[in-house]
């Protein structure tokens, strides 16, 4: 059917003179015109668009037009008849960009062109003649020779052409090349046999049902399909298990689950296979195997890797959570199970295992909240009710435990464990008769459940029901004579019933057998300890430790026996030996720490207690003891951390509040110390010790009226206690109330006539005498109430401008005094006294005068807190003669590493820009690591680099 005609004879644009070749591409017609020696381009409707001449814009594009072709980038290829054997490549912008086939020395030098074509991969096909063959097809890829066929015999394509005139390429899944022979009136077809590109980037996602494979490919048209191959081992053998025509495939585990390794092979339409992709392992299948084989650490690693690739794989996340749970990494397990709550099929299991994890972390309230959520769904399994009962018992909610147990038994009334927990709940709810009756029903219904009977025996023993406990232990030991737990329990119960002879007979029988020797010695030790024969107990427990070192009570009992014979060092050594065999025993670490604290071996105590709080961070006793040990070593910051931890466990523990007050007081946080003690007094208002402590804190802060109130309360609450009277005496002395001071010290000596108290009383007598002599002879000028603040050597310069305290100057006479001078002196640490001129003090007037101090550099040598004597001296003139009065008082100068947080400006005292070591370190960091500051301030960037170096060094 004729559609339209293009052109006419002539030489104008759109005219032809011997058109010799036509190439259609992209909806355009390219016509080679031999007579006009050019190429003309027409639109699909025949409209003339462009002519491409042999020479244009001053450049030779070709000499003589021959066959033409156009690639996907609209580059034009012209077989040049004038330059034999050359194909010119002309760009879309009509510039010659390459020449193909211009190697004159090549054996395949072309002598004639008969036709050109291009496939979808932009490979150029040329039907040519050479010096050796009249007709040959040459294929070029990337402008270089790629294949030759049609006239050679080596590749099986030898054809005897008579007159080959044209070539055409059908480019699809396989490239077929057609050559027309006009004399034979035949078309010869050649299939280009090529290997397809290999698949790559295989990714595998799998779960309990499906294995999903995805991969990448060049998407070459030569690729007809992909074969999926599987193997059990990485090295094969692989076998084809599926075929895909896309870049993905899903396999059922039921049919392909036996394969662990997979690879993908690209296959052409001619059945030619590319090299296989790199084999990839089905991680999920491997994870399942690792989990089943108990290799939980490897399962965790591989599951984490898989979930980074496929975060939605719920089956893999479940195995990860279960592995972490079994590894006792409960915190991470909770995080994984939390994500599984959104997956309906895993929701209940995820909730249950979060509960179990929280339970094991002793986070019982969190566990209880989740178990309640789980029980709202009315599970049909009994396990959630068992956990609910256990949780309620842990939370001392006996009634809740009864409710959970009864609900669970309504589902499965014969569940022995749940019925046992119900009995425990009755006991803790204060219903011993019902509890014992429940236990009896368990024994009657399950006489062979010896594990439960042992638990019942233990509970009855703890309840004090020794006769019934003995019956259960006896029944188990008769049924299982080798049960050490039953035999030992029976013997301990006999001891509790004062049937020592029977207990000893059992112990001797056990100690005579190699396999139970340790239990026997342990029981003999218990018997000896009960009979106060502690040396024999030490001997027996030592023997037990050699045979059953994993029983922690052996070492605890040995420690107790050593303590009874006053050998604390050996008691600690016994605990250390027990720790070696029981490295996770909280009780052993706690007991060792407590003993070392009593021995004042604080460093050793802290080492044990540090491990104890790691093992049981919720233990009030461990946190409290550790805080005490740290406080004793003046590690106030860490002591405060653990005291706060103890306070979180029990906010109303008075001992903890007192400890926090002591720590705060030594840190200079007087206000906090007072608040802690006030809270403690509210909890125990009748405690004289608390009244005495807060009185001392007030006294140290020079708050004398408040101090007096609490010290008098302490003295009144415990009449025979001397310490409050000593403190009152010191308070009165500070205020120069010497008669009251003497009375207080006399009372202290009456209650406790120690040499120390007598010495304090003698000093008070001397001070009173001196005061009376002064009153008779001196003018009526008095110095009193010398109140001094805490002085820190690191901040010594600020005391030149800020007062370190004050003193009261009182004129008790009606006469005015003028031209007075008040001086303040601390020998060794001040080169000259600080002085204040007082112009006048009127009769009967009292002045409060601030005191400042100018310290010398020796104060910087104060490494530790040091006590010094200070002197305040008043000089004046009377009747033309110079006279003076003075007041002395002890004071503490705190070491150069001490500060008080109440004054945040003191932080600046620890900034040392002139320190050589620090300056060198900063210079090295800035020179090595400071980045280009860009728009930022250079000094700011330097500071940022220095700060980052501190973080990198682990300094926080």
Compare 194 and 276 and report the one with higher pLDDT.
Answer: 276
Q: How many CA atoms lie within 13 A of 713 on its CB side?
A: 19
Residue 156 predicted with pLDDT over 80: no
Phi/psi of residue 72, each to 5°?
Answer: -65, -20
Let me know: does 39 contact 76? Beta carbons within 8 Å: yes
Which whole number is the average pLDDT over 870-881? Answer: 82
Residue 774 predicted with pLDDT over 70: no
Q: Which residues pair with 271 in a beta bridge?
A: none
Which whole number is the average pLDDT over 815-826? Answer: 88
DSSP string, 724-746: HHHHHHHHHHHTT-HHHHHHHHH
Residue 32 predicted with pLDDT over 80: yes
pLDDT value for 106: 63
pLDDT value for 153: 46
pLDDT value for 737: 85
Q: pLDDT band for position 245 (50/70/90)?
A: very high
Residue 155 predicted with pLDDT over 60: no
Which whole number is the average pLDDT over 34-52? Answer: 93
Q: Encode 810-829 in three state secondary structure.
A: EECCCCCEEEEEEEEECCCC
pLDDT value for 154: 52
Let me know: does 834 contact 826? Beta carbons within 8 Å: no
Q: pLDDT band for position 952 (50/70/90)?
A: confident
Let me know: does 761 contact 725? Beta carbons within 8 Å: no
pLDDT value for 275: 95
pLDDT value for 317: 94
pLDDT tens digit sequence for 560-574: 999 999 999 999 999
Query: Which of 680, 656, 698, 909 lies closest to 787 in space, CA to CA?
Result: 698
Let me know: does 839 contact 889? Beta carbons within 8 Å: no
Q: What's the maximum distance between 2 C-alpha atoms anywhere in the chain?
A: 156
Residue 778 predicted with pLDDT over 70: no
How much is the CA Rg of the chain, to the nearest whole Å?
Answer: 50
pLDDT value for 200: 95
Let me know: does 771 contact 885? Beta carbons within 8 Å: no
Quote the percentage of the chain above a pLDDT of 90. 54
Residue 448 predicted with pLDDT over 80: yes
Domains of the chain: 19-191 (2.120.10.30), 200-281 (2.60.40.10), 584-650 (1.25.40.10), 657-776 (1.25.40.10), 778-907 (2.60.40.10), 912-952 (no CATH)
Q: How many CA atoms lie within 13 A of 369 on its CB side?
A: 4
Residue 900 predicted with pLDDT over 70: no
Query: Which of 934, 941, 939, 841 lies closest to 885 in space, CA to CA?
Result: 841
Residue 105 predicted with pLDDT over 90: no
pLDDT tens digit sequence for 461-490: 988 899 999 999 999 999 998 888 898 899
Lowest mean pLDDT among 413-422, 484-493, 512-521, 885-894: 885-894
Let me know: does 371 contact 349? Beta carbons within 8 Å: no
pLDDT value for 811: 87
**CA angle 781–787–789, rounded 5-degree value:** 150
Angle, helix 517-530 to helix 552-564, in steps of 10 degrees: 30
Which whole number is the average pLDDT over 591-618? Answer: 94
Q: pLDDT band for position 899 (50/70/90)?
A: low
Average pLDDT over all residues of the chain: 88
Q: pLDDT band for position 668 (50/70/90)?
A: confident
pLDDT value for 350: 93
């Amino acid at each position: 059917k004729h559609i339209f005609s293009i052109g006419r004879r002539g030489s104008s644009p759109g005219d032809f003179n011997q058109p010799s070749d036509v190439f259609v591409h992209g909806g355009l017609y390219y016509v080679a015109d031999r007579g006009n020696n050019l190429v003309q381009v027409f639109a699909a409707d025949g409209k003339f668009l462009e002519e491409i001449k042999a020479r244009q814009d001053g450049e030779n594009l070709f000499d003589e037009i021959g066959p033409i072709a156009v690639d996907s980038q609209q580059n034009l290829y012209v077989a040049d008849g004038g330059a034999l054997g050359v194909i010119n490549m002309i760009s879309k912008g009509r510039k010659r960009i390459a020449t193909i086939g211009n190697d004159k020395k090549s054996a395949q030098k072309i002598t004639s062109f008969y036709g050109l074509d291009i496939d979808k991969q932009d490979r150029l096909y040329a039907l040519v003649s050479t010096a050796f063959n009249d007709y040959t097809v040459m294929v070029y890829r990337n402008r270089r020779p790629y294949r030759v066929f049609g006239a050679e015999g080596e590749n099986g394509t030898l054809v005897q052409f008579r007159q080959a005139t044209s070539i055409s390429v059908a480019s699809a899944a396989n490239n077929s090349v057609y050559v027309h022979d006009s004399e034979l009136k035949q078309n010869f077809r050649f299939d280009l046999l090529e290997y397809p590109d290999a698949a790559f980037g295989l990714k595998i996602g799998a779960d309990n049902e499906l294995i999903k494979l995805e991969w990448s490919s060049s998407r070459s048209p030569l690729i007809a399909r992909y074969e999926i191959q599987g193997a059990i081992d990485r090295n094969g053998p692989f076998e084809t298990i599926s075929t895909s025509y896309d870049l993905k495939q899903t396999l059922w585990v039921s049919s392909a689950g036996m394969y662990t390794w997979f690879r993908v092979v690209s296959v052409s339409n001619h059945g030619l296979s590319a090299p296989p992709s790199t084999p990839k392992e089905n991680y999920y299948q491997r994870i399942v195997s690792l989990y089943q084989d108990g290799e939980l650490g490897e399962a965790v690693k591989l599951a984490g890797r898989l979930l980074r690739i496929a975060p939605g794989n719920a089956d893999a996340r479940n195995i990860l959570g279960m592995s972490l749970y079994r590894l006792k990494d409960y915190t991470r397990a909770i995080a994984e199970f939390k994500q599984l709550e959104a997956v309906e099929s895993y929701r209940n299991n995820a909730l249950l295992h979060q509960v179990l994890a929280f339970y094991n972390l002793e986070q019982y309230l969190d566990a209880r909240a989740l178990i309640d959520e789980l029980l709202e769904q009315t599970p049909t399994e009994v396990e959630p009710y068992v956990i609910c009962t256990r949780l309620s018992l842990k939370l001392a909610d006996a009634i809740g435990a009864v409710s959970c147990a009864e609900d669970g038994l309504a589902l499965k009334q014969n569940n022995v464990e749940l019925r046992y927990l119900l009995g425990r709940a009755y006991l803790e709810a204060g219903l011993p008769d019902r509890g014992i009756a429940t236990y009896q029903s368990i024994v009657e219904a399950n006489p062979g459940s010896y594990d439960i009977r042992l638990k019942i025996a233990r509970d009855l023993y703890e309840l004090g029901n020794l006769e019934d406990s003995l019956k259960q232990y006896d029944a188990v030991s008769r049924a299982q004579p080798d049960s050490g737990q039953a035999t030992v329990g029976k013997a301990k119960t006999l001891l509790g019933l004062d049937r020592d002879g029977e207990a000893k007979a059992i112990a001797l029988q056990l100690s005579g057998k190699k396999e139970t020797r340790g239990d026997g010695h342990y029981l003999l030790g218990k018997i000896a300890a009960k009979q106060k024969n502690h040396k024999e107990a030490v001997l027996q427990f030592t023997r037990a430790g050699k045979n059953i070192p994993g029983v922690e009570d052996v070492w605890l009992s040995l420690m107790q026996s050593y303590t009874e014979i006053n050998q604390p060092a050996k008691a600690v050594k016994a605990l250390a030996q027990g720790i070696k065999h029981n490295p996770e025993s909280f009780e052993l670490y706690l007991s060792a720490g407590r003993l070392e604290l009593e021995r004042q071996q604080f460093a050793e105590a802290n080492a044990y207690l540090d491990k104890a709080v790691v093992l049981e961070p919720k233990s009030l006793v461990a946190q409290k003891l550790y805080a005490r040990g740290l406080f004793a070593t003046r590690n106030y910051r860490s002591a405060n951390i653990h005291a706060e931890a103890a306070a979180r466990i029990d906010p109303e523990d008075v001992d903890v509040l007192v400890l926090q007050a002591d720590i705060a007081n030594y840190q200079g946080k007087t206000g906090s110390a007072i608040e802690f003690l006030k809270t403690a007094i509210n909890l125990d208002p009748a405690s004289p010790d608390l009244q005495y402590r807060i009185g001392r804190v007030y006294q140290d802060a020079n708050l004398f009226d408040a101090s007096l109130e609490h010290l008098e309360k302490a003295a009144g609450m415990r009449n025979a206690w001397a310490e409050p009277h000593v403190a009152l005496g010191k308070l009165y002395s500070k205020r120069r109330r010497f008669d009251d001071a003497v009375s207080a010290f006399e009372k202290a000596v009456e209650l406790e006539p120690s040499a120390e108290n007598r010495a304090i009383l003698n000093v008070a007598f001397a001070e009173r005498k001196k005061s009376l002599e002064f009153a008779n002879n001196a003018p009526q000028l008095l110095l009193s109430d010398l109140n001094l603040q805490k002085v820190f050597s690191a901040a010594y310069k600020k005391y030149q401008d800020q007062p370190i305290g004050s003193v009261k100057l009182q004129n008790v006479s009606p006469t005015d005094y003028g031209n007075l001078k008040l001086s303040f002196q601390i020998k060794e640490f001040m080169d000259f006294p600080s002085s204040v001129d007082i112009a006048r003090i009127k009769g009967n007037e009292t002045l409060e005068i601030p005191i400042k101090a100018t310290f010398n550099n020796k104060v910087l040598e104060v490494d530790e807190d040091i006590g010094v004597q200070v002197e305040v001296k008043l000089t004046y003139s009377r009747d033309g003669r110079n006279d003076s009065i003075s007041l002395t008082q002890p004071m503490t100068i705190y070491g150069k590493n001490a500060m008080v947080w109440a004054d945040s400006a003191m932080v600046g005292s620890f900034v040392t820009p002139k320190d050589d070591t620090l300056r060198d370190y900063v210079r090295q960091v800035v020179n090595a690591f400071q980045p280009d500051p860009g728009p930022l301030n250079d000094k700011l960037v330097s500071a940022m680099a220095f700060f980052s170096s501190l973080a990198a060094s682990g300094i926080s």
